[in-house]
Structure 1
């Protein structure tokens, strides 16, 4: 495989109903936030950039999005987000990860996980 190509990045696009509320919410999670215009914004943290787009007719129960964050320490991230509503504490899984979750005001899901510490 050739290595002359720049690294590929991904920016999940999350539908929102109120851009300012979404920007304020992601700022509370520790993201750097900015608005492109009245209907499109960005939330960035640790190399991840989410795009937030005002979506007419968005139904948080039906049309929400999700992203998975692979983090070095799920417990540390959960502790940082503990004061923000709808952050679930991490649990050990049977597939070798410690995972938690956060749901934003528009129903978008951020799952996050880190490898379980090796036993032995």
Structure 2
């Protein structure tokens, strides 16, 4: 029996060029790009975005949780650059979330520490 080693979120985007620029600012690099699909990576993190022309960012409920080595430092740096880093109250039962960022398409990226993985089963 094979085991699952990783999962890759697939998020909607109305404008893949704008998404590419946004994620590049966050430190992601383009792995592949097509007319209607974008794959970006940041270390071991991989995100895919697909073109969704009819997406309404105000009602988009898509998102993902990203485990990073030092989310507090990341938040401090990004806030210093003017990135809106949001509080996520009440998230503790599901794994520590230090902050969240919403991309231009309404996708919510929640950031927490790598250590949040230890011992958690949801």
Residue-pair matches, total: 113
Between the aligned partners of 2:29 and 2:82, the Cα distance in structure 1 is 16
Scaled by the length of structure 1, the TM-score of the pair is 0.76
**CA RMSD, Structure 1 to Structure 2 (Å):** 2.7
* Aligned twin of 1:17: 14
Mapped pair 1:66 → 2:63: yes
Kindly indicate which of the two structures has a greater share of residues assigned to strand. 1
Displacement of 1:79 in angstroms is 2.7
Aligned-pair CA distance for 1:47: 0.7
Q: Which residue of 1 aligns with 2:106?
A: 107
- 4+ long deviations beyond 4 Å: 89-96
Does structure 2 conserve the Cα–Cα contact (< 8 Å) formed by 1:86 and 1:104?
no
Higher helix share: 2
Question: Unaligned regions of 5+ residues in structure 2, if any?
Answer: 117-122
The within-5 A match list for 1:1-120 is 5=2, 8-82=5-79, 83=81, 85-88=83-86, 95=93, 97=96, 99-114=98-113
Larger radius of gyration: 1
